[in-house]
């Protein structure tokens, strides 16, 4: 029977593990599909943004912004003190075409860098400078075109937020469903285990030898020798197979003959263990008392000898003083 229970528990664990893997694989598959669809939509937006960027970079005033500023060649020694993050269209194009994972993840990142190109030029150069005027003019044209694409970008961003929220909710619901199924299956498994344990109990009852009248009498006597605490535990054993029995009542009437064989044998084993333990404790106390008494006797005997020796010495001294030859 024990082997059957172990196998059942093992099978349950395998079943739970299988369900968890199945749910996880499903969630991963759905997440991959959502990411692929979102990536495809973002790539389309980036393609449309690239068209805008191409129109700006083809403008006749775009050439100062196509490559990194030649700081050394132009003698712009204070450039990096004023411009914290340099940017140019060549760098933006390289980053848009990157395939190693270092590229832009969304349109807004490109938009920010394009604005940065013009903002840097306007920040470093005086507003009357040609480069400042060119940057300001191209920025205005760029912003006009960006406003045409912005509704689509906003719609995609909103959609991504909603999909992420839905994905989190799906994961939560899936986890709750798995936990609910686990609880249900665990409950069924526990019911099966209870049934098997009941069968084992019945087998044990059938195997129990009937206790003789003399053994029952000795058991009743032994119960009266238990400590109050151990007696309470013994009565709890009786109550387990006798629902109507009240082990905590002020007065308990225990009918030994009315108890099942299983209860009687459990009581016998319990009482024997407790009395055996109590006997060992009593023997230890007695031995300790004997040792203490022996030590006391030895101590008193030694004291008497010391007193006797002292009296003898004093008597000898007095005799010497009374002697005529002294």
* Number of domains the chain is built from: 2
Confirm whether 314 is domain-assigned. no
Confirm whether 51 is domain-assigned. yes
Confirm whether 295 is domain-assigned. no
Hey, what are 15's tokens?
């079943």
The answer to whether residues 237 and 136 belong to one domain is no
Hey, what are 22's tokens?
């199945």
Q: Distance between CA atoms of 225 and 223, rounded to whole angstroms?
A: 5
Whole domain around residue 90: which residue ranges? 15-187
Phi/psi of residue 129, nearest 5 degrees = -75, 145
* Residue that finishes a domain, picked among 131, 153, 187: 187
The answer to whether residues 128 and 220 belong to one domain is no
The answer to whether residues 222 and 182 belong to one domain is no
Contact yes or no for 118/65 (Cβ under 8 A): yes
Domain of 275, CATH number, reads 1.20.1270.220
pLDDT tens digit string along 197-229?
877 777 766 666 788 888 888 888 888 888 888
The answer to whether residues 40 and 152 belong to one domain is yes
The answer to whether residues 142 and 263 belong to one domain is no
- The pLDDT score that the predictor gives to residue 20 is 59
Confirm whether 274 is domain-assigned. yes
- The pLDDT score that the predictor gives to residue 326 is 42
The answer to whether residues 166 and 128 belong to one domain is yes
The answer to whether residues 147 and 85 belong to one domain is yes
- The pLDDT score that the predictor gives to residue 133 is 96
The answer to whether residues 27 and 146 belong to one domain is yes
Measured at the alpha carbon of residue 42, what is the angle toward residues 41 and 47, in degrees to the nearest 5? 100
Confirm whether 252 is domain-assigned. yes
The answer to whether residues 237 and 171 belong to one domain is no
Spans of the chain below 50 pLDDT: 1-6, 286, 290, 321-323, 325-326
The answer to whether residues 78 and 114 belong to one domain is yes
- The pLDDT score that the predictor gives to residue 322 is 46
- The pLDDT score that the predictor gives to residue 252 is 73
* Residue that finishes a domain, picked among 172, 187, 202: 187
Confirm whether 10 is domain-assigned. no
Q: How far is CA 221 from CA 215, 218, 268, in A?
A: 10, 5, 11
- The pLDDT score that the predictor gives to residue 291 is 56
The answer to whether residues 165 and 34 belong to one domain is yes
The answer to whether residues 150 and 221 belong to one domain is no
CA 86 from centre of chain: 47
Instruction: List Cβ neighbours of 262 (8 Å cut-off, separation of 6 or more).
Output: 201, 204, 205, 208, 241
Confirm whether 193 is domain-assigned. no
Confirm whether 175 is domain-assigned. yes
Domain of 40, CATH number, reads 1.20.920.10
Q: How far is CA 144 from CA 68, 101, 138, in A?
A: 25, 30, 10
């Amino acid at each position: 029977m024990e082997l059957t229970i172990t196998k059942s528990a093992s099978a349950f664990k395998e079943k739970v593990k299988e369900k968890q893997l199945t749910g996880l694989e499903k969630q991963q598959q759905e997440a991959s599909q959502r990411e692929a669809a979102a990536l495809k939509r973002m790539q389309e937006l980036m393609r449309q943004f690239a068209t805008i960027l191409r129109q700006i970079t083809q403008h006749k005033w775009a050439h100062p912004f196509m490559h990194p500023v030649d700081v050394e060649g132009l003698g712009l020694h204070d450039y990096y003190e004023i411009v914290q993050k340099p940017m140019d269209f060549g760098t933006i194009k390289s980053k848009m075409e990157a395939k190693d994972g270092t590229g832009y993840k969304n349109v807004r990142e490109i938009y920010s860098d394009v604005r940065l190109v013009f903002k840097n030029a306007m920040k470093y150069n005086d507003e009357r400078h040609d480069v400042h005027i060119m940057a300001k003019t191209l920025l205005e044209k760029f912003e006009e075109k960006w406003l045409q694409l912005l509704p689509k970008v906003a719609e995609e961003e909103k959609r991504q937020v909603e999909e992420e929220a839905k994905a989190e909710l799906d994961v939560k619901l899936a986890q709750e469903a798995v936990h609910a199924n686990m609880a249900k299956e665990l409950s069924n498994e526990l019911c099966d285990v209870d049934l098997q344990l009941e069968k084992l109990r019945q087998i044990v009852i059938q195997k129990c030898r009937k206790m003789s009248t003399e053994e029952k009498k000795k058991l009743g006597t032994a119960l009266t020798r238990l400590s109050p605490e151990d007696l309470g535990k013994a009565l709890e054993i009786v109550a387990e197979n006798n629902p109507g029995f009240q082990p905590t009542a002020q007065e308990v009437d225990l009918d030994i003959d009315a108890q099942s064989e299983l209860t009687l044998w459990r009581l016998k084993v319990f009482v024997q263990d407790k009395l055996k333990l109590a006997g060992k404790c009593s023997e230890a106390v007695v031995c300790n008392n004997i040792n203490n008494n022996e030590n006391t006797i030895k101590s008193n005997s030694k004291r008497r000898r010391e007193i006797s020796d002292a009296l003898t010495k004093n008597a000898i001294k007095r005799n010497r003083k009374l002697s005529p030859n002294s």
